[in-house]
Homo-oligomer: A and B are copies of this chain.
Amino acid sequence: MRDVARMAGVSAQTVSRYFKNPDLIGLGNRERIAKVVADTGYFPNPAASTLSANRTNLVAVIVPTIDHSIFSDAVAGLAQTLEARNHGLMIATNGFSLEKEEQQVERFLAHKVAGIVLIGQHHSERTTRLLRASGTPTVELLEIDNPPIDIAIGLSNLAAARDLTSRLIALGRRRIGFISAPPEGNDRVQRRLEGYRAALESAGLPFDPGLVAGAEFRIENGARVFSQMHAERPDIDAVISNDILGLGVQLQCARLGLAVPEDVAITGFDDLEVSSILERKLTTVKISGFEMGTLAGEMLLERQSRDAIAPEVVDLGYEILWRDTTP
């Protein structure tokens, strides 16, 4: 930078201003600097800038894994927004471990990131404390039922699942299964399970643990788990699931000769494109990871620093798409 300054006949400080706030310097100097920069290919050193200014234009996102499309959609929305605003994105995966999440948050805070995006609202106590103390703008994505660390964007998974379950009950279903991702380290699933139980209770129906199962996000797992569940609870007449596992349930029903939705109703979650590939399209709860990610980016950058700013919650809601796997 010093060299560029010398060549342009100005001080280093003016070159610095040229990059940070070009409008603040005289037109003549601006053009002179622009020429030298173009000639030399000079680019400011971000590390020096960070060290001196104590901030970066990097945002961090921590997801359980990026091979679930709901997460990669969110990251895609985030990346797009940040790039448009000249910010970079760092990413880390924690495999649903709160402990790893804590370490990653610590690392990112050390990097002086401009913002952090987490999935869900279940974090270690220390994670929450570090984030609060740092004042770093923070978004919790995909669940909003708890008081946020800073900003929460998403939906009430509890409300969505309760709503869905109640409607299945209203449609006459009495033995409703719940097949989802494993609830460990996944508060979205835990909230949905609570909503499911709440709806059963409201209707005076018993909660049967034999009708609840968790499995990794693969179509075949949905088939396998349902197969087992159906063997032990042949009277099962509905399954609440997600789009991937739900597809497996649907395939398994076909293999078992069960009519969908007459014998077994099935509902998914996410509204992935594959949920409408089979002849009978899956009824599902539609949410948009991309939209959440986009909004997260916007709110993060808008919130320069959190001093004395009140927490915010954005409920993006959900929509139940009634299609062919429910009566």
Contacts and interface: CB of A to CB of B under 8 A. Distances in A.
Contacts of A76: 65-67, 93
B92 A79 contact: yes
B219 A274 contact: yes
A2 interface: no
A72 B251 CA distance: 26
Interface string A66-92: 110100110110011001000011111
A273 B111 CA distance: 38
Interface stretch (A4-12, A46-54, A315-323): A46-54
Interface string A283-296: 00000000000000
Contacts of A218: 273
Contact of A277 (B47, B72, B278): B278
Interface residues of A, number: 42
Contacts of A247: 277
Interface string A90-106: 11110000000000001
Contact of A274 (B73, B80, B106, B274): B274
Copies in the complex: 2
A256 interface: no
A209 interface: no
A115 to B, nearest CB: 15
A13 interface: no
A110 B44 contact: yes
A268 B88 CA distance: 34
20 contacts: A43-B107, A45-B51, A45-B110, A46-B110, A46-B111, A47-B50, A48-B51, A66-B75, A72-B72, A75-B91, A79-B92, A79-B93, A83-B92, A88-B107, A89-B90, A91-B91, A219-B274, A274-B277, A277-B277, A277-B278
Interface of A: 43-48, 50-51, 56, 58, 65-67, 69, 72-73, 75-76, 79-80, 83, 88-93, 106-107, 109-112, 218-220, 247, 251, 273-274, 277-278
